[in-house]
Chain A
């Protein structure tokens, strides 16, 4: 989040390794999802895709709906970064993730979904839709006093 991917990724990888080594299943899905987000931030989308898929499967198996929601949002972010961009696919991914976040009242995740959706639409050239989505996201962030 501070943009220091080179420092963050080894820590995230180590956290996952240690979690797996001691069998702390409670933290494993979270560690996978955090690492996937790190890979995505570093532009390593293939690894992000693979890692988040593993995290999503584990979260679903263990009934960890909060982690599942975050994983869905990251999958949407990955879809939004794809080349070529499949707008419908990415849009659907964001809507699915946001629905999950809203169901759990995970407002920060819902706001992040909205932000991602707006950026993706902007990239797709749908300026007006993007502006609307980003306005909603900005309001939500503002409400929670969050930084994007």
Chain B
């Protein structure tokens, strides 16, 4: 009875029947045990084992290491498991149950049951994760074993798959095929098997997606296209809704098994989301067809917007009604082939005999180039009109059997003859039960004059009704995500909103971004970056590559600028003359890459901008950012220091970046936009960190830190605020800047108080007060007194807080001029009175408290600053409240709440502050910084 169970497939695990999982002390012990186990009871000489695992040390040392390893194994394994017989070592086969040996035995047995068991046992690569790279001989043996076992697994799985298909077990077969693909994703024949099995289960979308997976893998790994047979199968599945089952025989594939595939698609299939109006229009069209009239629809929209999906729904609807469907697809590479899309349409399946019999010989001859059937005895006339007539006759004959839906996909790539034939057929078959449905990318139509012209004719003639598809709404996007993720676990409102914002409601972009984020494990972290998706990148690159050089430059400039910009700015950044730029902008607008917002131009979608920006090489991005910064700086009223600073930063011009970002921080703080102030300050600090160390730089850093600290304090990020003030103080001390030392201590005291550390707050304020006394700066001294009062109030030392302080009008800062922004926030005209008023109320001196509160409100109204108004209202309301005058207390208290909410004063109205963060429009490719992100 085996007492030791060794699992070597998929990784190493040793279990003892008595103790469970065994822990071996070193990886070479695992390697040695695995080697002995695979020997099936054979004994190995010690010298051989020592050389296998310790090849780079002396023999004596290797033998010593082997002895130690064997000793540790003997200690860990059940007694008797190791068979050490003088110079040889082995593993007792009766004691150990080794999965590799069982796997090999079952595979060799070869019966369906044994193979299925073997396939199920293969849990992954042999000794996966075991790294013994310092023992090359062992590594060679490991690789060789690993490959052999993997081949055996593939063969076993392929044979199981063949049996399962013969036994008509599609679910089991699909499971096995997907396991095969997981082991070897490049086996094209298995991809085909999966496509067939999925299609047979009615999972047409999954089958079509499997093809895309196959195409992507082959392209990425081998740089090749799928085999013709795979392409053919795809077309066949595409047409599946017009016919009951795919008709291509898969006997050859069965013989060729095994083959490839990626893991199952991580996102589920979804029902059609949104598009209710469009489906109603299409259904009404089908109603007309079933009444015997011909109709035509053109579904227009950008790539990924869901044209094919909608067309597929219509095809399914037609099939359900008992109609016939024909699908042709135009390809970019086949634009020069006449009737390309019609050839594709008629390629499969074979035409019913009764249809062909209704055509005369000349028509059959003219159809020969389009049909796979033999043309008969006549030669084609070569006359286009005759060919048009022949196709029309063929469609009419088909429609005579059952209403027919003709779907022509991607006609923006169709050749001219195909489109002329389409126009002819829609006119000629207006009274036949034929529905024409074409799909086209509107942005591509702009580039092909004849396609555009023919579409214009369609519009005018009314033979094709144009349905333009736009993006899904935010709600529909959320619904799509919910449906795609099945559980909805990832479909948080935030995810939905974020994906909608980035995708503009483009379902392809939504799903691909979600898929890529999921594969990167980033959904839960809130990172849904379109650039993760290779398919989205390819989509965008394909559009950009078709542009001319000026258009590409302008698109790149627009991506770098990020937000709507006027034409002169765009052309300057692009480095394109205004004449050329005007022409290029027209092309871009016509191609739906650029759109106008009044006088401003911007890329049509954020995801386009993001991908275009991402695809720019770093050097080009740098140049464009520098141009953008210079151009913005040169504008007569350069009022956007943040934008300019960010472009300089992205352009690596750090001195200018720092200047503009510092200015942006100061402006934000002066307008009470403290969250923005903090962010700008953080960016400025980053820029300053790139400058050579100097006293001036340290002084600037200290100043920015003081601003940043203020922002953090007001936005209630106290821990970071405290660190920021401490850092500001350190720099100020280093540069001997007494005024900034005092300000840093003020801020530190204030922050400590907010953290409830009142005694420390008082001590910090007292030290600042001492410095202010030394300096003779009366304003600073007053400010220190105010902060001390605040701490004393919190400590219940009210009698010390009711002392009247000098009026601010009577004091002056030592340096003259206006107070820095942080002092301005804690306005000494108001704050000392606030503390005093509250202390008076605590002591029952309500009349005085109320008088002070009213005075504060008057002062705040004169100054026009929201924090003062809030403090005044609070003081007044609290005084009335303390007195028990509820009716009088409520109005000022309600006013305090209202003003704090309107002014987004987080410290007073905490739930509202994040809104302010959205005021900053970040250039594409930059990430809004976390305030003082590098700090604790």
Inter-chain CA distance A22–B161, complex, in Å, is: 60
B798 touches A66 (CB 8 A): yes
Which chain B positions have C-beta within 8 A of A109? Answer: 842
Q: Which residue of B lies closest to A106 (CB)?
A: B842
Which chain B positions have C-beta within 8 A of A147? Answer: 883-885
B886 touches A144 (CB 8 A): no
A18 touches B910 (CB 8 A): yes
Give residues of chain B (751-783) contacting chain A, Cβ–Cβ below 8 Å. Answer: 753-759
Q: Which residue of B lies closest to A69 (CB)?
A: B796
The listed residue (A18, A24, A106) touching B911 by CB distance below 8 A is A18
Which size class do A's interface residues fall under?
20 to 34
The listed residue (B796, B797, B844) touching A108 by CB distance below 8 A is B844
The interface bits of chain B over 797-811 (1 if a CB of A lies within 8 angstroms of the residue's CB, else 0) are 111000000000000
A69-B796, A104-B796 as given contacts; A23 in contact with B718, CB under 8 Å: yes
Say how far A137's CB is from chain B's closest CB, in angstroms.
Answer: 13
| Interface stretch of the complex, out of A39-47, A56-64, A77-85, A91-99 | A56-64
A111 touches B754 (CB 8 A): no
Which chain A positions have C-beta within 8 A of B847? Answer: 145
Is A148 part of the contact surface with B, judged by Cβ < 8 Å? yes
Is A105 part of the contact surface with B, judged by Cβ < 8 Å? yes
Inter-chain CA distance A125–B632, complex, in Å, is: 83
Inter-chain CA distance A65–B794, complex, in Å, is: 8
A26 touches B844 (CB 8 A): no
B883 touches A23 (CB 8 A): no
A62 touches B798 (CB 8 A): no
Give residues of chain B (80-119) contacting chain A, Cβ–Cβ below 8 Å. Answer: none
A64-B795, A66-B798, A108-B882 as given contacts; A25 in contact with B754, CB under 8 Å: yes
A24 touches B798 (CB 8 A): no
Which chain A positions have C-beta within 8 A of B753? Answer: 26
Which chain B positions have C-beta within 8 A of A61? Answer: 756
Inter-chain CA distance A65–B839, complex, in Å, is: 13
B758 touches A146 (CB 8 A): no
Main secondary structure of the interface of A (DSSP, over half): helix
A66 touches B910 (CB 8 A): no
A21-B910, A105-B799, A106-B842 as given contacts; A26 in contact with B883, CB under 8 Å: no
Is B846 part of the contact surface with A, judged by Cβ < 8 Å? yes
Among the interface residues A62, A147, A148, which one has the most CB atoms of the partner chain B within 10 A?
A62
Q: Which residue of B lies closest to A11 (CB)?
A: B897
The listed residue (B758, B844, B886, B911) touching A107 by CB distance below 8 A is B844
A105 touches B843 (CB 8 A): yes
A28 touches B756 (CB 8 A): yes
Is B716 part of the contact surface with A, judged by Cβ < 8 Å? yes
A1-B881, A104-B798 as given contacts; A24 in contact with B754, CB under 8 Å: yes
A146 touches B756 (CB 8 A): no
Among the interface residues A26, A66, A67, which one has the most CB atoms of the partner chain B within 10 A?
A26
A65 touches B795 (CB 8 A): yes
The listed residue (A28, A62, A108) touching B842 by CB distance below 8 A is A108
Give residues of chain A (127-142) contacting chain B, Cβ–Cβ below 8 Å. Answer: none
B756 touches A68 (CB 8 A): no
Q: Which residue of B lies closest to A30 (CB)?
A: B794
Among the interface residues A67, A104, A148, which one has the most CB atoms of the partner chain B within 10 A?
A104
A25 touches B756 (CB 8 A): yes
Among the interface residues B793, B795, B797, B906, which one has the most CB atoms of the partner chain A within 10 A?
B795
Q: Which residue of B lies closest to A104 (CB)?
A: B796
Which chain A positions have C-beta within 8 A of B883? Answer: 144-147
The listed residue (B756, B846, B910) touching A62 by CB distance below 8 A is B756
Say how far A88's CB is from chain B's closest CB, in angstroms.
Answer: 28
The listed residue (B796, B844, B887, B890) touching A66 by CB distance below 8 A is B796
The listed residue (A28, A65, A68, A106) touching B843 by CB distance below 8 A is A106
A144-B883, A146-B844, A146-B846 as given contacts; A26 in contact with B716, CB under 8 Å: no
Inter-chain CA distance A109–B758, complex, in Å, is: 22
Which chain A positions have C-beta within 8 A of B253? Answer: none
Inter-chain CA distance A146–B754, complex, in Å, is: 31
Inter-chain CA distance A147–B888, complex, in Å, is: 12
Inter-chain CA distance A64–B790, complex, in Å, is: 12
Inter-chain CA distance A21–B717, complex, in Å, is: 11
Say how far B897's CB is from chain A's closest CB, in angstroms.
Answer: 10
Say how far A139's CB is from chain B's closest CB, in angstroms.
Answer: 13
Which chain A positions have C-beta within 8 A of B842? Answer: 66, 104, 106, 108-109
Q: Which residue of A lies closest to B887 (CB)?
A: A2
Is B719 part of the contact surface with A, judged by Cβ < 8 Å? yes
Say how far B874's CB is from chain A's closest CB, in angstroms.
Answer: 12
Which chain A positions have C-beta within 8 A of B754? Answer: 24-26
The listed residue (B796, B798, B799, B844) touching A111 by CB distance below 8 A is B844
Give residues of chain B (235-261) contacting chain A, Cβ–Cβ below 8 Å. Answer: none
Which chain B positions have C-beta within 8 A of A68? Answer: 796
Inter-chain CA distance A15–B228, complex, in Å, is: 69
The interface bits of chain B over 727-764 (1 if a CB of A lies within 8 angstroms of the residue's CB, else 0) are 00000000000000000000000000111111100000
Inter-chain CA distance A28–B755, complex, in Å, is: 10
6 interchain residue pairs of minimum CB distance: A25-B756, A65-B796, A147-B884, A107-B844, A66-B796, A144-B844
Q: Interface on A for B, CB 8 Å cutoff?
A: 1-2, 18, 21-26, 28-29, 58, 61-69, 104-109, 111, 143-148
Extra contacts besides A1-B886, A21-B910, A64-B796 (5): CB < 8 Å = A23-B755, A24-B716, A24-B718, A62-B756, A143-B844
Q: Mind listing 25 A-B residue pairs with CB under 8 Å?
A: A2-B890, A23-B755, A25-B755, A25-B756, A26-B754, A58-B756, A63-B759, A63-B796, A64-B794, A65-B797, A66-B794, A66-B795, A66-B796, A105-B798, A105-B799, A106-B796, A106-B842, A108-B841, A144-B844, A144-B883, A145-B846, A146-B844, A146-B883, A147-B883, A147-B885
